[in-house]
Chains A and B, each alone.
Chain A
């Protein structure tokens, strides 16, 4: 469990600065540091085991079926990175305490910083690839927050956006790569994945996996051609740059390559892509670093260059190169973090980062200058400093590799060129800033920074010296165990001595130093040469590209979503046709083997009426009243069809629904515009007719094919158990209230929700109420004809009686709650029509919302009732009783459930129709705004 705390403590720690900000800046910094420090102690506590060769694992199962666990592991590589992240992170916390001005929100800054720290720890400690990816994305997001910390500056916002876009896109590529790895290996567990190296390399997905994973790594590590975001991320406060661009963010990509080194390396493809990318980045970064006038710009390009160096090392085909890569990761982190901090001090105490103004600072801050110079010399690769050692190893490996076949000699030559420029820009950093005359109109008079602002730099520079002089003692074990983790096997022999004798790598180093001096001495010529090229601002190019992309997306979006229902439907229908075309063509024969029933006169007459009704509706759809009438013909024929084909329940339901639907549409007609102008062009009509005919043809064919195929059904179970298990002979009703009662409960719930939704929509509706019909004739004032009133009054008890009868017999004969509910609703609606709302209001005090609620409650309680008897939800019960006079009757719990259905249906139907009808009267729902 110990290991889980390492990422967990900083995660909790993100809240600490926010809570402690009020106690002052120093207190806030100390409190913020406690939890990461505790995490560092845990790591140090675990370190001896790891250095001895153990891999410490710890996991919490989350969704085991999806192979998602919270899994962490600590091996040599993880240990190295965890130490860098936590160690440098703590120094950054101390440094930032003095760097941030009182105007900056310290709590917010520290919170983002610790969040970023958590994310980085998550990456380096994850033992699950999906989890690793989540943390990977979290670094992108938290670095976005950090880079844009000074969000009032445009360059900060743009730089942050650029970093997020590039690294985020890379993250997506990485996710795709990880998913492919998961497909090939069958697991996302890192141990499992690393154990299936050969399987991955030999699968057909290998090229895709490699490219996707490398895209993720290259974007994060600012490798050419994705390097452009890194210099612009310098808009961040310097502590952020020092943290992100030395030990963490950009090293995440390097870490990923090192982590997957045993899995993906070893093929020609890996060596070619990685080494060439690294080489290009190394040269380009080193060259451009020299020309940056901004102190941080120089360091940014230098970072790009050193990242390229590490990538190149990982891409070379010797095992020692991987060791050198790990070594350089450590060395670069230490000297680059201290250089960034020194640059921050200079900026902080002199007010400028422009090397054309910053001159001769040695006089003003000799102590800082000494520290910065040592770190810069380490960057240049001067002996006795750590940068020298790894650069020496790098040179040696460039001579031993054969990555490019017969062209391999080019690598050491270009590596030396890179080193020459590296020396030149390091010299520029030292000479331009600390010597070279007097400062030129700086905003402040430079002076030494506060004591504790220097402390982190001192520690790091001391490390540079210690590693540089006593590499074996200081770093030997850590380097060995990290290299062992990268290589996943035998670590080749290597020696960390400073002096290897007079050999070619040493000659290359000397050459680089001399060349660097020469270039720096003649820098004016080079600057003039470089000045001929127009400077492309990556920010502008990027912004333009983004704008273009967004505009393009906007056009695509407007093409798909132009808020026209017709277009959406068209897309869906065309898509349906395409999807159905292939399987329909594969169906060799439309007609199946089942015997068909000969058509008789009644059916043919019905069919003709139905078709006429449907076609007439289409033809006259703009004449609304006629369209409604013809539509009702269709509905009636459909209900007759149900009756004809042995479905009496359906016939009854369809008939009563037909009545309420037509009433509803008549009411709606009143409120909708009275005319439907001709909208469609003939072209459009032809197109729609074509599509409609195609869909109709497909559906008809399917229907025919379905009906003529043999009938296999699960209904035999229902037929066999309906009477014995459900106590009813009307199987349809027993299915509804018993076998599939839970479905019905869901359905009446939907019905209730729809009705309530309608009620809310009607409320506060601003109405268009026409005073006359479309020809301008006023409505009839004779609103409630006498005959209708009298007859409907007489009919009401009869209709209610019928509905009770239908309800009661539903379990055994056609009928039931749904149909009875609809009949009751129709009976009451008829009273509304015949007498008007005022009349009903006085006589019938029904609250329809309550009715829906009561119905749902009864149905649910009936279901819950079976729990009392220890049975599953909605288990039914029934028994027969003998009553005097009446005879034998059956009582069943399903009837109670059906009562719930009945009430819901009545409530919902009346809530809809009565409220819609009321809109024209003074009884319309309250809070109404008059038009």
Chain B
């Protein structure tokens, strides 16, 4: 099970990284979302995988899952949403103000040239 889990985390990370390396805003946003899945899963795994253990205190239960990584990941999910939203809106605003959705530093007028944009 651990092997399968680690494999999934690795693949999610790789997909996320690949997408964040694209030149337009939308793939970057998707990539970041996917990376945050991977990071959350990774953090969660620091409590080790448990299939049978109880999550809530019970009289009969003997073993419990580790609640600490869960608490950490829970807030991370919510904050992750806020950050994704912020990036999305930033991308929209950038498109509105700059007229394009490039994040690779290229000018839209000369998309094929590799000229870096001069800083003002």
Contacts and interface: CB of A to CB of B under 8 A. Distances in A.
Contact of A607 (B7, B40, B45, B93): B7
B71 A735 contact: yes
Contacts of A697: 10, 14
Given A653-B77, A740-B71, A565 B82 contact: no
Contacts of B13: 692, 695-696, 699-700
Interface string A558-570: 1001111111011
B13 to A, nearest CB: 4
Given A565-B104, A614-B34, A638-B37, A599 B56 contact: no
B92 A765 contact: yes
Nearest to B6: A704
Interface in B1-59: 1-15, 17-30, 33-34, 37-38, 40-42, 44-58
Given A567-B105, A569-B21, A757 B116 contact: no
Interface string B98-120: 00110111100001000011010
Contacts of B8: 607, 610-611
B116 A638 contact: no
Instruction: Give the size category of A's interface with B.
Output: 35 or more
Given A597-B51, A731-B56, A758-B89, A562 B6 contact: no
B81 to A, nearest CB: 5
A671 B67 contact: no
Contact of B2 (A596, A618, A644, A766): A596
A646 B82 CA distance: 26
B75 A743 contact: yes
Nearest to B25: A672
Contacts of A718: 67-68
Contact of A647 (B27, B44, B84, B117): B44
A757 B93 CA distance: 12
A701 B10 contact: yes
Interface residues of B, number: 90
A758 B93 CA distance: 10
A558 B34 contact: no
Interface stretch (A61-69, A134-142, A387-395, A722-730): A722-730
A624 interface: yes
B103 A704 contact: no
B117 to A, nearest CB: 5
B40 to A, nearest CB: 7
A643 to B, nearest CB: 10
B71 A732 contact: yes
Contacts of B26: 621, 624, 627, 668-669, 672, 676
Interface string B62-83: 0011111011011101111111
B15 A700 contact: no
Contacts of A644: 51
Contacts of A814: 55-56
A280 interface: no
A905 interface: yes
Contacts of B81: 657, 660-661, 664, 909
Contacts of A912: 82, 85, 89
A708 interface: yes
A615 B8 CA distance: 11
B95 A564 contact: no
Most chain A CB inside 10 Å of its own CB: which residue of B13, B14, B44, B64: B14
B58 to A, nearest CB: 7
A767 interface: yes
B14 A696 contact: yes
Contacts of B86: 754, 757-758
A731 B54 CA distance: 11
B75 to A, nearest CB: 5
B12 A631 contact: no
B78 A818 contact: yes
A49 to B, nearest CB: 59
A573 interface: yes
Contact of B119 (A563, A762, A818): A563
A476 to B, nearest CB: 64
Contacts of A664: 81, 84-85, 88
Given A665-B29, A713-B66, A905-B78, A812 B21 contact: no
B34 A642 contact: no
A254 interface: no
A617 B15 contact: yes
Contacts of B21: 566, 569-570, 688, 691-692
A85 to B, nearest CB: 44
Nearest to B17: A692
A599 B64 contact: no
Given A641-B41, A649-B55, A732 B83 contact: no
A715 B68 contact: yes
A573 B52 CA distance: 38
A654 interface: yes
Nearest to A638: B37
Nearest to B55: A646
Contacts of B10: 696-697, 699-701, 703
A646 B53 contact: yes
A635 B55 contact: no
A191 interface: no
Nearest to B57: A729
Interface of B: 1-15, 17-30, 33-34, 37-38, 40-42, 44-58, 64-68, 70-71, 73-75, 77-86, 88-93, 95-97, 100-101, 103-106, 111, 116-117, 119
Given A597-B51, A711-B66, A740-B71, 20 more contacts: A565-B105, A569-B20, A597-B1, A604-B4, A611-B11, A617-B34, A621-B27, A645-B50, A645-B51, A653-B78, A672-B25, A673-B101, A679-B23, A679-B111, A729-B57, A732-B55, A747-B78, A750-B79, A751-B82, A758-B86
Interface of A: 558, 561-567, 569-570, 573, 594, 596-600, 603-604, 607, 610-611, 614-615, 617-618, 621-622, 624, 627-628, 631, 634-635, 638, 641-642, 644-650, 653-654, 657, 660-661, 664-665, 668-669, 671-673, 676-677, 679-680, 688-689, 691-693, 695-697, 699-704, 706-708, 711, 713-715, 718-719, 722-723, 729-732, 735-736, 740, 743-744, 747, 750-751, 754-755, 757-758, 761-762, 765-768, 812-814, 818, 822, 905, 908-909, 912, 916
11 contacts: A614-B34, A638-B40, A647-B73, A650-B44, A661-B84, A664-B81, A676-B24, A680-B23, A695-B14, A700-B9, A758-B86
